[in-house]
Amino acid sequence: MDLPVIDLSDYLSTTATSDAQLSELCGVVSRSLRETGALLVKDPRCSAQDNDLFIDMMERYFQSPRDFKLLQERPHLHYQVGVTPEGVEVPRSLVDEEMQEKLRAMPEEYRPSSPKGPDCKWRYMWRVGPRPLQTKFKELNAEPVIPEGFPKWKDTMDSWGYKMISAIEVVAEMAAIGFGLPKDAFTSLMKQGPHLLAPTGSDLQTHGREGTVFAGYHYDLNFLTIHGRSRFPGLNIWLRNGRKVEVKVPVGCLLIQTGKQIEWLTAGDCIAGMHEVVVTSRTTDAIKLASEQNRSLWRVSSTVSEAISFIEIAIYELFAHIASDAILKPLGHFAESPLASKYPPLCAGEFVEKELAVINLKGQSKES
C-alpha cells in the first residue's frame, strides 16, 4: 500500500516553503484522510531515543505480575485511565449488528478475522495534557494513574505523549486547510481534550498462534489516532473502497488514522478508519527470528538478563480527542452536506460514553 509520507518539517518550517507548496501539501493530507482514512508522517520532534525510552518502560510494566497490574485498573472511570486487562474490551464487530451485516456483504478476501470474544490484549491509558477545571464528564477527564516502582513513569509518558499530540495538531491544522476550513477549526476543539497515550501488550506465549486476534475489527471513537511503529507485523486497515491492506510503517514514520469524531465534524466526508491487529504468518516468522537471535522484544533494565520474552507491544497509539464538553457537529461548509442530518449536534463526552458502553468499557461510577 502506497500511503503518502508527509514530512511535517515542511509545514513547520514555513520560511522554506512557498504558499503554493503548503497549499498543495495540505491538500495531500486532506485527500489522503478522505480517500484512505490514513497517512504516514515524519515529525523531526519525535526522536527514536524518546520512542525507545517509552518502549523500554512499557516492556518492564507489561512483564509485571498480573496482580500488580490490576492495582492500576479503574473500571469506575470507564478504563479511561490506568490498565485495561485482557478479556475486557469487546470488538465492535462482535456487538454491532449493522457492522456485521456489512461484513457479510464483503468479498471474502477483504473480510476481517473473526474474534471469538473480547480482545486478548492489555492496554494502559495515560492521560496527556491539561484537563478542564470544570466538566460534565469527570470520568473521561480523571487524573492519570502512576504505578509504583516506576519513578520516571510520568516524565517518560508525558514526554512521548506530548510529542505525539504535537504531531497530530500539525496534521489537524493541515487537514483543516486542505478541507477549506479555518486553520484552527479542529485544534480549537481539541484544547483540553481527554487525549490518551495507549500502549497495548499481548502475551505471545499464550496467544501467539496464527490467526489469534489481539484487537478485533473496529474503528476508533476519537478524532485522530497516531500509531507508533510496531515491532511485529499484524496491523490491517481497510480503505474507504473496502480494500483490506496490511500496514507496514517505515522506520522513522508514524501512522495517522481517522476516528469517528472527525467523521462527525466533516459530515462523513472522512470516514472513521477500520482496523484490526492479528497474528499473521509474518508475525510468527518475526517471533521465530527473535528467538533464534536471542533478542528480547522487551528490553528490560540492565539488572535483568536479556532472555527471550514472549510479550510484545502489539501496537501503541495516541488517541487525540475533541474536548469532552465541546459540541460535535459538521463544521463550515460540511454543515451544508446532504449527509449532515446523519451527524446531529452532540456533546463529545456524551458521544464517547455511548461508544464506550457498546464495547464494554463504560463501568459504573463510584456514586452509582
pLDDT in tens, 128-154: 999 898 999 999 999 999 999 999 999
Is residue 106 in some structural domain? yes
d(C-alpha 194, C-alpha 190), whole Å: 9
Predicted TM-score (pTM) of this structure: 0.88
Domain around 265: 5-359
Is residue 306 in some structural domain? yes
Q: What is the pLDDT of residues 153-163, one digit of tens each?
A: 999 999 999 99
Backbone phi and psi for residue 158, each to the nearest 5 degrees, phi listed first: -65, -40
Tell me the HSE value of 187 on the side-chain side, using a 13 A CA sphere.
16
pLDDT higher than 70, residue 295: no
Q: Chain centroid to CA 278: how far?
A: 16
Q: What is the pLDDT of residues 297-307, one digit of tens each?
A: 432 222 222 33
Residue where the block lists cell 464538553: 325
Q: How confident is the model at residue 296, as a pLDDT?
A: 39
Is residue 140 in some structural domain? yes
Over residues 94-98, mean pLDDT: 90
Over residues 3-20, mean pLDDT: 83
- Least confident stretch, 33-47, 98-112, 250-264, 279-293: 279-293
Q: How confident is the model at residue 13, as a pLDDT?
A: 82
DSSP letters, 158-173, are HHHHHHHHHHHHHHHH
Q: Where are the beta strands (DSSP E) in 38-121?
A: 38-42, 82-84
Residue where the block lists cell 477483504: 110
Is residue 293 in some structural domain? yes
**Band of residue 197 on the pLDDT scale cut at 50, 70, 90:** very high
Mean pLDDT of the chain: 86
Is residue 365 in some structural domain? no
Spatial contact of 170 and 287, defined as CB atoms under 8 Å apart: no
Q: How confident is the model at residue 253, as a pLDDT?
A: 87
CATH number for the domain harbouring residue 230: 2.60.120.330
Using alpha carbons, list the distances in angstroms from residue 352 to 38, 276, 346, 367.
21, 20, 10, 20
pLDDT higher than 70, residue 108: yes
Q: How confident is the model at residue 365, as a pLDDT?
A: 45
d(C-alpha 188, C-alpha 207), whole Å: 42
Using alpha carbons, list the distances in angstroms from residue 159 to 51, 53, 82, 143, 327.
10, 10, 18, 17, 29
Q: How confident is the model at residue 363, as a pLDDT?
A: 61
Question: 309 or 303: which carries more pLDDT confidence?
Answer: 309
**Band of residue 47 on the pLDDT scale cut at 50, 70, 90:** confident
Number of domains the chain contains: 1
d(C-alpha 196, C-alpha 198), whole Å: 6
Is residue 366 in some structural domain? no
Q: How confident is the model at residue 232, as a pLDDT?
A: 60
Q: At what angle do helices 153-178 and 19-35 cross, to 10 degrees?
A: 100
Spatial contact of 49 and 59, defined as CB atoms under 8 Å apart: no
Is residue 367 in some structural domain? no
Over residues 314-321, mean pLDDT: 79
Q: Please give the single-letter amino acid code of residue 227.
A: H
pLDDT higher than 50, residue 327: yes
Q: How confident is the model at residue 38, as a pLDDT?
A: 92
d(C-alpha 30, C-alpha 177), whole Å: 8
Q: How confident is the model at residue 1, as a pLDDT?
A: 57
Spatial contact of 244 and 208, defined as CB atoms under 8 Å apart: no
Spatial contact of 121 and 79, defined as CB atoms under 8 Å apart: no
Cα dihedral: 54, 56, 57, 62 (round 10): 120
- Least confident stretch, 53-67, 77-91, 226-240, 275-289: 275-289
Q: How confident is the model at residue 312, as a pLDDT?
A: 47
Residue 120 DSSP SS3: coil
Over residues 179-185, mean pLDDT: 97
Q: How confident is the model at residue 241, as a pLDDT?
A: 86
Q: How confident is the model at residue 28, as a pLDDT?
A: 96
pLDDT higher than 60, residue 367: no
pLDDT higher than 90, residue 77: yes
Residue where the block lists cell 490518551: 196
Q: How confident is the model at residue 250, as a pLDDT?
A: 82
Question: 40 or 283: which carries more pLDDT confidence?
Answer: 40
